[in-house]
């Protein structure tokens, strides 16, 4: 296996816009909001950036194709800019591009920015969109909740979990994220809710009710990365470096081969193993101190706890109900509110997760700051459907070099 990029790249600065229904903002305005914060945090000027990556998922709703919108919005000085798209994992893809550029030595300082402006569709939920000329002829008109809801059916069948127990654990996931979101001033949803509200909410896609689904938000997040050496030369002392960055992409075996049982993410398990190896983590449940996962739906977060080898297989319901992943639990998950409450502006989400890790590790997370400063943080950014998806995992941590 390749040696990987552990500790080769440091985060120089980060920024994140407020997420939510930003009726007064274009995508370009949101980009600038995140960028200005990141640039100020990095303590550099625009002309010091060598290359940039833009991550967006549903560009037809806002900026359109290509990297030009980022270059124009930020007035980047004719540098190489690339637009990447990989479903809801587009943000981590932008980060990967920038990190790899620095790790390779092709760039000294690189920028990754994710953005999405989803609230211009005229209706709630994600935009309705085509799946491609050929897929449209055979695929169901599947929505995001409708595809992820199926995890629950398969999970119940595999583990013999009762619908009630599973639904209660899923409800706990959402209640926890609302609690966390209430302490985050940039979060889209900041209200606390109780279990009953979740259980009695209108059904969206069986068994996912309204509160099992994340917010659809406008927002942007941004990272500026460089090498640890350059970061130090720029005066930075507390460095957060990238320990691992892995991506696993479905090759059709889940969708077409009967080896997959539908109750978990094949990609997540593969990406997690690779990421732990790259970061040198042997016992993730004990060694990871903070996790941000792609909780687009409560059931996604539940099964992902197992796919990341944090909970034993079939054991997520118990861990969740025991409060293991609560903000004051052993391994907080979505301490910033997650996709559920911080919000899910598709292209920004992966970078937003890393932003939270960065703040927590530097002790800058305000009211929601974890008491014991986290040392190893993991983000899990998923795109697509359970039966066909892309899974990005990043591990960041304090630089000990």
Partner 1 sequence: MTFGILSYGAYVPRLRLQRKVIADANSWFNAALKGLGKGERAMANWDEDPVTMAVEAARDALVGHDRDGVTAVTLASTTFPFLDRLNAGVVTGALNLDESTASNDISGTQRAGTTALLQALNSRGQTLVAAAEKRDSNAASPLEMQTGDGAAALLIGEGEPVAKLLASATRSADFVDHFRTIDSGTDYGWEERWIRDAGYMTIVPPAIKAALDKAGLTPADINHFVMPAVLPKLANAMAKKAGIPEAAVRDNLSAVCGDTGAAHALVMLVHALEQAKAGERILVVGFGQGVDVMLFEVTPANEKKTGRLGVSGHLARRREETNYNKFLAFNDVVEIERGMRSEADKLTALSAMWRNRGAVTSFTGGKCEKCGTLQYPISRICVNPNCGAVDTQKPEPFADKTGRINSYTADRLTYSPDPPACYGMIQFEEGGRWMMDFTDVDEKDLEVGRNMRMMFRVKDIDNQRGFRRYFWKAAPVAAGGN
Instruction: Select the residue interacting with partner 1 from 258, 282, 371, 401 (CB under 8 A).
Output: 258
Instruction: Select the residue interacting with partner 1 from 1, 141, 371, 401 (CB under 8 A).
Output: 141
Euclidean distance between CA atoms 82 and 98, whole angstroms:
10
Instruction: Select the residue interacting with partner 1 from 2, 23, 134, 400 (CB under 8 A).
Output: 134
CA–CA distances in Å: residue 191 to residues 73, 92, 348: 33, 28, 22
Give me 281's structure tokens.
């983590």
Q: How far is the CB of 237 from partner 1 (least distance, A)?
A: 47
257 near partner 1, judged by CB under 8 A: yes
Residue 213 annotated as catalytic: no
Contact between 109 and 225 (Cβ < 8 Å)? yes
**Residue ranges in 263-292 that form contacts with partner 1 under rule CB under 8 A:** 263
Euclidean distance between CA atoms 93 and 193, whole angstroms:
33
User: Which residue, 2 or 137, has its beta carbon nearer to partner 1?
Assistant: 137
Binding mask 63-102 toward partner 1 (x if CB under 8 A, else -) reads ----------------------------------------
- Specify the residue for token string 């081969």: 257
Residue 344 annotated as catalytic: yes
Phi and psi based region of residue 309 (left: phi greater than 0; alpha: psi -120 to 50; beta: remaining): left
- From the candidates 62, 178, 344, 387, which is the catalytic residue? 344
387 near partner 1, judged by CB under 8 A: yes
139 near partner 1, judged by CB under 8 A: yes
3-state SS class at 252: coil
3-state SS class at 102: helix
- Specify the residue for token string 């806002």: 62
371 near partner 1, judged by CB under 8 A: no
Which secondary structure element, helix H or strand E, spans residue 361, and what is its range?
helix 346-361
Task: Give how many residues touch partner 1 by CB under 8 A.
Answer: 46
Q: Which residues bind partner 1 (CB under 8 A)?
A: 121-123, 125, 128-130, 133-134, 136-143, 145-147, 149-151, 153-154, 156-157, 202-206, 208, 252-253, 255-259, 261-263, 385-387
């Amino acid at each position: 296996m390749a040696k990987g990029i552990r500790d080769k790249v440091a985060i120089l600065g980060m920024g994140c816009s407020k997420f939510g229904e930003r009726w007064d903002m274009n995508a370009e305005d949101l980009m600038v909001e995140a960028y200005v914060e990141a640039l100020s945090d990095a303590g550099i000027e625009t002309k010091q950036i060598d290359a940039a990556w833009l991550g967006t998922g549903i560009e037809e709703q806002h900026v359109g194709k290509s990297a030009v919108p980022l270059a124009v919005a930020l007035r980047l000085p004719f540098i190489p800019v690339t637009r990447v798209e990989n479903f809801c994992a587009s943000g981590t893809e932008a980060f990967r591009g920038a990190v790899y550029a620095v790790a390779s030595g092709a760039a000294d300082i690189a920028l990754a920015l994710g953005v999405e402006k989803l609230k211009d569709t005229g209706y709630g939920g994600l935009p309705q969109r085509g799946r491609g000329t050929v897929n449209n002829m055979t695929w169901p008109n599947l929505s995001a909740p409708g595809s992820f809801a199926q995890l629950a059916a398969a999970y119940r069948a595999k583990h013999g979990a009762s619908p009630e127990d599973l639904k209660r654990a899923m409800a706990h996931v959402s209640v926890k994220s609302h609690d966390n979101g209430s302490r985050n001033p940039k979060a889209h949803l900041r209200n606390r809710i109780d279990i009953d509200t979740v259980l009695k909410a209108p059904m969206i896609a069986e068994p996912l009710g309204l509160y099992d689904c994340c917010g659809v938000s406008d927002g942007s997040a941004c990272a500026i990365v460089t090498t640890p050496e350059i970061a130090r030369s720029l005066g930075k002392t507390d460095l957060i470096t990238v320990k691992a960055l892995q991506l696993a992409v479905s090759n059709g075996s889940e969708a077409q081969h009967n080896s997959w049982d539908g109750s978990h993410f094949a990609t997540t398990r593969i990406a997690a193993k690779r990421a732990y190896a790259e970061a040198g983590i042997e016992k993730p449940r004990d060694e990871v101190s903070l996790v941000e996962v792609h909780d687009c739906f409560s059931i996604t977060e539940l099964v992902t706890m197992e796919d990341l080898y944090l909970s034993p297989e079939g054991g997520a319901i118990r861990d969740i109900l025991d409060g293991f992943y609560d903000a004051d639990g052993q391994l907080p998950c979505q301490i910033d509110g997650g996709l559920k409450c911080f919000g899910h502006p598709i292209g920004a989400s992966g970078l937003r997760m890393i932003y939270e890790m960065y703040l927590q590790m530097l002790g800058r997370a305000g009211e929601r700051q974890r008491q014991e400063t986290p040392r190893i943080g993991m983000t899990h950014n998923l795109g697509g459907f359970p039966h066909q998806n892309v899974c990005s995992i990043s591990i960041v941590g304090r630089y000990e070099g």
